[in-house]
C-alpha cells in the first residue's frame, strides 16, 4: 500500500509517535502545533509594534511549518520546520549581540538583512547534510543565548525584571526534557495519538516564545530610543 507522502524524500528524524499511513502521519504531534498559532495570534493582538509583529509571525510560522513536518514526515517538511526554529534562535542571538555597546553598529537594516540571510542559509546547509543532529544543535544555540544573557546581567548596572526570561527558560528547558524522553524513546507509547512527549514540547516551547516576546520587546524599544 502506497502512503500519501511516500513519493517524497523522508525525514531522518524519528519521534516516538507511530507513523500512520495517512495524510496526517503523526496526529498528536501535528495538531499540537496549534499552541504556536494561539500564542502567535495573542502576540499580534497585544501589540502592533514591529517587534511584536515579528515575534508573532515567527510563532505562527513555526506552528504552520511544524504541522507540515509532522503531517508529512518528509525531508522538505523537516527543513521548513527547522528553518523557522533557526529564525527564532538567530533572532535571540542577534538581539543579545546588539545589546553590547561595542556591537551597536550591527543595529541597521542592511547588516540585519545580511546577518539573517547568511546565518540562516548556513544553518539550512548544515541541516541538509546533518539533519539527524539538528535537535542537539538547536539546543546549543539556545544555550548560547542563555550565556549571552548571563553576560549582560553581570555587565549591566541597570537590572531589569527577569520574570519573563525565567518563564521562557522554564518553558524551553521543561519542554526539552519531554522532547528528550520522546525522541530517545525513554518514555514512549507509539500507539498514543492524543498526547506524548512531543505534544508537551510544543506546548512548553510555544509558551517560551510568548515569554521571550514579553521580555525582549521592551529591551528592543530601549535600544531604539538610545540610538535616536
The DSSP string of 8-52 is SPBPS---SS---SSSSSSHHHHHTTHHHHHHHHHHHHH--SHHH
Q: What is the pTM of this model?
A: 0.91
pLDDT at 48: 80
Task: Answer for the pair 219, 227: CB distance below 8 angstroms, yes or no.
Answer: no
CB 80 within 8 A of CB 69: yes
Average pLDDT over the chain, rounded to whole? 90
What pLDDT was estimated at residue 204? 97
What residue ranges of the chain have pLDDT lower than 50?
Answer: none
Alpha helix positions (H), the chain? 27-31, 34-46, 50-72, 75-98, 109-129, 134-155, 163-183, 197-227
What the chain holds in terms of domains, given with CATH numbers, is 27-227 (1.20.1070)
Handedness of CA 10, 13, 17, 18 (dihedral sign): positive
Residue 153: what pLDDT?
A: 82
For the record, the C-alpha cell of 96 comes out as 543579545
pLDDT at 228: 52
φ, ψ of residue 74 in degrees (nearest 5): -100, 160
pLDDT in tens, 60-102: 999 999 999 999 999 999 999 999 999 999 999 999 998 887 7
Amino acid at each position: 500500500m502506497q502512503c500519501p507522502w511516500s513519493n517524497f524524500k523522508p525525514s531522518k528524524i524519528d519521534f516516538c509517535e507511530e507513523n500512520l499511513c495517512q495524510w496526517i502521519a503523526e496526529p498528536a504531534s501535528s495538531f499540537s502545533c496549534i499552541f504556536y498559532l494561539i500564542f502567535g495570534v495573542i502576540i499580534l493582538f497585544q501589540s502592533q509594534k514591529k517587534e511584536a509583529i515579528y515575534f508573532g509571525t515567527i510563532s505562527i510560522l513555526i506552528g504552520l511549518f511544524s504541522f507540515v513536518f509532522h503531517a508529512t514526515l518528509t525531508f522538505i517538511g523537516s527543513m521548513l520546520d527547522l528553518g523557522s526554529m533557526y529564525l527564532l534562535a538567530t533572532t535571540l542571538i542577534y538581539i543579545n549581540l546588539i545589546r553590547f555597546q561595542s556591537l551597536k553598529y550591527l543595529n541597521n537594516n542592511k547588516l540585519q538583512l545580511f546577518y539573517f540571510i547568511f546565518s540562516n542559509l548556513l544553518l539550512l546547509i548544515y541541516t541538509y547534510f546533518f539533519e539527524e543532529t539538528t535537535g542537539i544543535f538547536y539546543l546549543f544555540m539556545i544555550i548560547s543565548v542563555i550565556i549571552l544573557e548571563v553576560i549582560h546581567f553581570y555587565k549591566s548596572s541597570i537590572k531589569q525584571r527577569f520574570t519573563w526570561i525565567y518563564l521562557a527558560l522554564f518553558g524551553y528547558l521543561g519542554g526539552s526534557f519531554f522532547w528528550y524522553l520522546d525522541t530517545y524513546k525513554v518514555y514512549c507509547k507509539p500507539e498514543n495519538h492524543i498526547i506524548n512527549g512531543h505534544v508537551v514540547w510544543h506546548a512548553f516551547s510555544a509558551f517560551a516564545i510568548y515569554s521571550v516576546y514579553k521580555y525582549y520587546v521592551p529591551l528592543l524599544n530601549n535600544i531604539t530610543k538610545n540610538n535616536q
